[in-house]
Amino acid sequence: MFNLNYNGSLYGDLKRICETDLGLASQCCLTKHVFKMSKQYLANVALKINVKVGGRNTVLVDALSRRIPLVSDRPTIIFGTDVTHPHPGEDSNPSIAAITHRQELIQDLFKQWQDPVRGRVTGGMIKELLISFRRAIGQKPQCIIFYRDGVSEGQF
């Protein structure tokens, strides 16, 4: 944790060095806010630090006792997907994506497709996760919940 007087370049340099060079989680605070000793401000900083070091700030009591009906009554796997794109003009890095759609989702998990650069691609991450789930639970999932992120206007 760092207590700073405001200096925009110092903040940026400090965050960059901690995160990219040292691999450390960091939390910066402004001196003027820390010395006010506001309980709300200090609690907010503590919550941020807790999450950055792997803690959990919220939890559903039903989740801890495994009483969420759809998820706990039968073998269920939950997927989340997103897509990330290189910055505009940065053509050297590929987009990283997972694509889902309605009823066709399950059939498409195991299709082969032809990538112009890498050649034939079979299965993928989802296939590996389903296999891992079956090994861990001893059966295939009876329910698959798939969350996906939307696409912003700039990505069309």
Same domain, 80 and 113: yes
The confidence score (pLDDT) of residue 73 equals 76
DSSP single-letter state for residue 35: T
Same domain, 48 and 79: no
The phi-psi region of residue 152 (left if phi > 0; otherwise alpha if psi is between -120 and 50; otherwise beta) is beta
Neighbour tally for 130: CB within 10 Å? 19
Cα–Cα distances (Å) from 136 to 14, 77, 145, in that order, read: 42, 11, 18
Cα–Cα distances (Å) from 143 to 77, 85, 107, in that order, read: 6, 30, 15
Output the average pLDDT for the chain.
73
Instruction: State the Cα–Cα distance between residues 148 and 96, nearest whole angstrom.
Output: 14
Same domain, 85 and 135: yes
Per residue in 2-57, pLDDT tens?
A: 666 666 678 888 888 888 899 888 888 888 888 888 899 999 999 998 888 888 88
Work out the burial of residue 48: count CB atoms within 10 Å of its CB; fewer than 13 is exposed, 13-18 middle, 19 or more buried: middle
* More confidently predicted of 51 and 107: 51
Same domain, 103 and 135: yes
Same domain, 17 and 41: yes
Same domain, 41 and 73: no
Same domain, 81 and 14: no
Tally of structural domains, the chain: 2
Same domain, 117 and 139: yes
Per residue in 110-125, pLDDT tens?
A: 445 556 666 555 556 6
| Domain extent at residue 117 | 61-155
DSSP single-letter state for residue 22: I
